[in-house]
Amino acid sequence: FARPGMTTGMKEEKTMTDGLRKGLTAYGDAGFSLFLRKAFIKAAGYSDDALDRPIVGITNTYSDYNPCHGNVPQILEAVKRGVMLSGAMPFVFPTISIAESFAYPTSMYLRNLMAMETEEMIRAQPMDAVVVIGGCDKTLPAQIMAAVSADLPTVVIPVGPMVVGHHKGEVLGACTDCRRLWAKYRAGEMDDSEIEAVNGRLAPSVGTCMVMGTASTMACITEALGLSLPMSATIPAPHAERFRSAETSGRVAADMAKAKGPKPSELLTPAAFRNAQVVLQAIGGSTNGLVHLTAIAGRSPHKIDLDAFDSIGRDVPVLVDLKPSGDHYMEHFHHAGGVPKLMKQLGDLIDLDCRSITGQSLRDIVAAAEDVPGQDVIRSRHDAIKPEGGLAVLRGNLAPRGAVIKHSAASPKLLQHTGRAVVFESIEDMTLRVDDPDLDVSADDVLVLRNAGPKGAPGMPEAGYLPIPKKLARGGTKDMVRISDARMSGTAFGTIVLHITPESAVGGPLALVQTGDMIRLDVAKRSIDLLVDDAELARRRAALQQAATPEWAERGYAHLFHETILQADDGCDFDFMRRKGKG
């Protein structure tokens, strides 16, 4: 398309697929499109030399509503520095920013919107490589989903976990200790003034939760997939090392822009996805991690098989002693050697021939893992925290397409339990009735929440951590079996069955449960069953009313969400956003 006589920077030797020449705006004249693009970008003060270099796009997910991403401005400067030191040109562009505790009705409702927006902005703007910066729960999965679909060379930078807090000599971490201490407050074991003091100490710095919640889980999975630099999952958000890592990430992105690879499609092999599942089990990771990893795989030619994932969990022990499955926090995991040390301890459970964005194999990365004498955060396989992985997949007549339990954070005595169902029709119903002194409930009952799945809620909120009814909590009950089609925070603990699929709002068996029915949970047998005969269930199903489009889903993004959202076993992606689209 280039013509003789063009000005400096529009030379023929450059192809229209490089740098500023990439993806020209459709004016019907490619030469004019490039001329106009350069004219406007020069208004920002760029020289022809700068504009003639490979371009690295960098997502800016900073927001005043997202304290988890509070260090993003410093990360951006460090990435830009690294890109320029390696001879490429950085261009920062904004995307949606999703903060877990600020997103209504739930951050999961917005994950696919962020994935779509990020993918389209990567496609729409000229860049030879992209750096995505994220952390708070749904941000990293959305960005990786986008990167897999766009398939441009990509470097992922997690923002990093907070440092720990302290209260009365006790180490605190958002948000496992948020939940534990709030439960004490509900039980009357902590007064108003103390819970207010705790509120100001749980999150002492910017960054993501410093326990093995969803944000930390996704950062570890990202590193295991080879999409981020070694150690990047665990460096605390305020530490100088976080910004040095960002600078190096910028250098790597510049090299990838020049080499035009590796692309996500070259790194995300079946073996890489298996490594991610092994790490997810070994860290006692968030149940959300399985949903997100399934969605990421759905953007690729590969697939996460729930039964295979459960089989991995039977062979892979929990080796990281981190809350909520253990005792420590993310900064301790980092100082013990991070994900490289964990993969070294996992040994032959990891495929070390998989490659990273740096060009190294995992074998190279593991060989360089730091050996920290005396550390007890990353255990050996002979001294595991739990003999099996953190997550188990359950099936039965209540969950024919599967359900998930984080049994590493459950009460052992409840892992085989039969109890009477106490049913809540919705989150609102639960909120209104769970603390009613007249609620007919005992500690041996099974709390059931329905209409809290992808369509039913909407957005599959983190409501699966049903509160212990106040009258039981004040009587000393710390845990009960709780069942729902919702999700829960990776920071939560308890004997909680989640992601029951299909959800009740689409006619799943959860819609048929009545208060007084008996439910049997047997984690060892991987089963969750409603002890009601088939004939009675058939009668109940015949009486179910046909679901109509709810008022909230009549227009806009809500309508798109309601009409196209998939179930948990498909990663809750939109049906038309998977690799081959709808169908």
- Structure token pair of residue 318: 């929990």
Query: 45-59: per-residue pLDDT in tens?
Result: 999 999 999 999 999
Helix (H, G, I), strand (E, B) or coil at 80: helix
HEC-encoded secondary structure of 121-153 = HHHHCCCCEEEEEECCCCHHHHHHHHHHHHCCC
How do 527-530 and 55-60 pair as beta strands? unpaired
Band (pLDDT 50/70/90 cuts) for residue 194 is very high
* Across 17-31, 141-155, 256-270, 472-486, least confident range: 17-31
Residue 578 has pLDDT above 60, yes or no: yes
pLDDT of the residue at 179: 86
DSSP class of 68: G
Per residue in 146-165, is it b (16+ CB within 10 Å) or e — as a string?
Answer: bbbbbbbbbbbbbbbbbbbb
CA dihedral 90, 112, 105, 447 (to 10 degrees): -130
Average pLDDT over residues 267-276: 98
Residue 12 has pLDDT above 80, yes or no: no
Beta bridge partners of residue 58, listed in sequence order: 92, 131
- Contact status, residue 440 vs residue 469, Cβ threshold 8 Å: no
Q: Cα–Cα distances in Å, from 92 out to 23, 442, 448, 518?
A: 17, 55, 46, 56
- Contact status, residue 30 vs residue 24, Cβ threshold 8 Å: yes
Angle at 36 between CA 31 and CA 42, to 5 degrees: 125
Band (pLDDT 50/70/90 cuts) for residue 380 is very high
Count Cβ atoms within 10 A of the Cβ of residue 2 and give its class: 0-12 exposed, 13-18 middle, 19 or more buried.
Answer: middle
Residue 217 has pLDDT above 80, yes or no: yes
Query: 437-454: per-residue pLDDT in tens?
Result: 999 999 999 999 999 999
Residue 11 has pLDDT above 60, yes or no: no
Q: Please give the full DSSP string across 236-297, using - where no structure is assigned.
A: -TTSHHHHHHHHHHHHHHHHHHHHT---HHHH--HHHHHHHHHHHHHTT--HHHHHHHHHHH
Residue 10 has pLDDT above 50, yes or no: no
| CA of residue 488 relative to chain centroid, distance | 12
pLDDT of the residue at 546: 83
Residue 7 has pLDDT above 60, yes or no: no
pLDDT of the residue at 2: 36
- The H or E element that residue 116 is part of is helix 107-124
Average pLDDT over residues 303-321: 97
Q: How far apart are CA 70 and CA 202, in angstroms?
A: 16
pLDDT of the residue at 395: 98
End-to-end CA distance of the chain: 38
Residues in the chain: 583
CA dihedral 165, 166, 167, 172 (to 10 degrees): 60
Q: Please give the full DSSP string across 183-250, using - where no structure is assigned.
A: HHHHTTSS-HHHHHHHHTTS--SSSB-SSSSHHHHHHHHHHHTTSS-TTTTTS-TTSHHHHHHHHHHH
Q: How far apart are CA 180 and CA 173, in angstroms?
A: 10
- Contact status, residue 291 vs residue 145, Cβ threshold 8 Å: no
Look at the pTM and tell me if it is higher than 0.85: yes
Average pLDDT over residues 521-532: 98
Average pLDDT over residues 373-397: 97
* Across 2-11, 127-136, 141-150, least confident range: 2-11
How do 165-167 and 416-424 pair as beta strands? unpaired
- Which of 66, 77, 7, 74 lies closest to 42 in space, CA to CA? 7
For 434-478, list the strands marked E by DSSP: 446-449
Band (pLDDT 50/70/90 cuts) for residue 185 is very high
Band (pLDDT 50/70/90 cuts) for residue 17 is confident
pLDDT of the residue at 16: 63
Band (pLDDT 50/70/90 cuts) for residue 525 is very high
Percent of the chain at pLDDT above 90?
A: 92
Residue 216 has pLDDT above 60, yes or no: yes
Residue 215 has pLDDT above 90, yes or no: yes
Collect contacts of 10-14 with beta carbons under 8 A, ≥24 apart: 10/34, 10/35, 10/38, 14/52
- The mean pLDDT value of the chain amounts to 95
* Across 167-181, 399-413, 441-455, least confident range: 167-181
| CA of residue 522 relative to chain centroid, distance | 27
